[in-house]
């Protein structure tokens, strides 16, 4: 196993840890969940960089990296819906796109075509990570515990603006990147 694939596996292992803190009733746990999500998101940026730098890009990595991304983002979105921090329609659109692109990858893999993540897909993933983290932080800012804690000096951060902006940009790029994947690979699809 190479380092990049190891980072993808670590990202997958972060998912249940993130969920434990995100769904915990303790008031500060959402901020810990946001921190875990950031660290997991950084492993996504790192694994691709390391794979290219060490020239260890592999077929396993081309499937493992997007799988880890999808698990992490889906966990974040479902958790946000559960705690009331996200409209379920946003989660449904984003998760549906992830299933559709995964289906495309599987169908093309059966035809011998490996679809690696595109730069548009990577940018989409970064925006989704920013959106999930900013929504978690914004939700934490709204709690009485946070307003009364020593951390309340962070309230000056415009989470009320950043969270929805990041969400709408992520949603837009989610749809655009899905269209791009299907359009670029249309010649390989046979119905």
pLDDT tens string 72-113: 999 999 999 999 999 999 999 999 999 999 889 888 888 888
In a domain, 133, yes or no: yes
Three-state DSSP class for residue 190: coil
Alpha helices in 54-158 (DSSP H): 59-82, 88-110, 119-141, 144-148
In a domain, 60, yes or no: yes
pLDDT tens digit sequence for 107-126: 888 888 877 778 888 899 89
In a domain, 75, yes or no: yes
Which range marks the domain in which residue 53 is found? 3-186
Q: How far apart are alpha carbons 33 and 31 in whole angstroms? A: 5
In a domain, 191, yes or no: no
Residue 129 confidence class, pLDDT cut points 50, 70, 90: very high
Q: How far apart are alpha carbons 190 and 186 in whole angstroms? A: 8
In a domain, 151, yes or no: yes
**pLDDT recorded at residue 149:** 80
Q: How far apart are alpha carbons 32 and 143 in whole angstroms? A: 15
Express as a percent the part of the chain with pLDDT over 70. 97
Question: Into how many domains does the chain fold?
Answer: 1
Contact of 145 with 65, CB cutoff 8 Å: no
Q: What is the CATH number of the domain that holds 36?
A: 1.20.120.1760
pLDDT tens digit sequence for 161-172: 889 999 999 999
**In sequence order, what DSSP letters do the residues of 148-175 get, joined into one string?**
HSGGGGGGGS-HHHHHHHHHHHHHHHHH
pLDDT tens digit sequence for 139-187: 988 888 887 887 776 766 777 788 999 999 999 999 999 999 999 888 8
Q: How far apart are alpha carbons 50 and 1 in whole angstroms? A: 13
In a domain, 27, yes or no: yes
Contact of 17 with 76, CB cutoff 8 Å: no
């Amino acid at each position: 196993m190479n380092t990049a694939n190891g980072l993808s596996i670590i990202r997958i292992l972060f998912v249940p840890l993130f969920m434990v803190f995100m769904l915990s009733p303790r008031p500060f746990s959402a901020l810990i969940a946001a921190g875990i999500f950031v660290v997991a998101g950084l492993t996504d940026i790192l694994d691709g960089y390391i794979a290219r730098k060490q020239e260890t890009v592999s077929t396993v990595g081309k499937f493992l990296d997007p799988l880890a991304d999808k698990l992490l983002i889906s966990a974040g979105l479902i958790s946000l819906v559960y705690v009331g921090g996200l409209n379920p329609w946003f989660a449904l659109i984003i998760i549906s796109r992830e299933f559709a692109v995964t289906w495309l990858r599987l169908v093309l893999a059966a035809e011998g075509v490996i679809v690696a993540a595109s730069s548009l897909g990577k940018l989409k993933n970064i925006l989704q990570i920013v959106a999930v983290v900013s929504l978690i932080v914004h939700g934490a800012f709204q709690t009485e515990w946070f307003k009364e804690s020593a951390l309340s000096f962070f309230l000056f951060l415009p989470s009320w603006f950043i969270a929805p902006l990041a969400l709408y940009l992520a949603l837009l790029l989610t749809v655009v990147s899905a269209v791009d994947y299907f359009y670029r690979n249309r010649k390989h699809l046979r119905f």
